[in-house]
């Protein structure tokens, strides 16, 4: 693959990441994914591809952040990412709750007038 020596699992993971990247692009193009979320997923899947294709880069990034093992770095990034996504879901649900309260208020006011 472009002169790279990838193991079978690395090749499968790169193909999966390319598929996920294409799904993110199609979701953005169809309007189901906002621009900030598309940028986030583009960064995530592009990073996965780079780290799979060039593991030495990942080792250098791990050392830059002061960690000894790449797995530790991946776990920390995964936990931070999971907390961010939970936060985004919470904000989204609060917006839905607020919108629902407005709709219920308007419907109940409309029924009182009858």
Return d(Cα 100, Cα 107) in angstroms, integer: 11
- pLDDT the model gives residue 9: 86
Question: What residues does each domain of the chain span?
Answer: 1-53, 66-114
Return d(Cα 32, Cα 71) in angstroms, integer: 33
- pLDDT the model gives residue 28: 94
Residues of the chain with pLDDT > 90: what percent? 46
Q: How confident is the model over 41-89, as pLDDT tens digits?
A: 999 899 888 888 888 888 888 899 999 888 888 889 889 989 998 999 9
Return d(Cα 29, Cα 24) in angstroms, integer: 9
Return d(Cα 13, Cα 7) in angstroms, integer: 10
């Amino acid at each position: 693959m472009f002169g790279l020596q990838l193991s079978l699992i690395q090749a499968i993971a790169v193909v999966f990441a390319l598929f996920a990247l294409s799904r993110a692009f199609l979701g953005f193009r169809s309007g189901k994914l906002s621009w900030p979320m598309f940028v986030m997923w583009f960064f995530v899947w592009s990073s996965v591809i780079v780290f799979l294709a060039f593991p030495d880069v990942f080792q250098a990034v791990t050392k830059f952040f002061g960690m000894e093992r790449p797995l530790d770095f991946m776990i920390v990034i995964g936990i931070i990412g999971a907390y961010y996504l939970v936060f985004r879901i919470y904000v989204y649900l609060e917006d839905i709750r607020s919108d629902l309260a407005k709709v219920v208020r308007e419907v109940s006011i409309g029924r009182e007038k009858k």
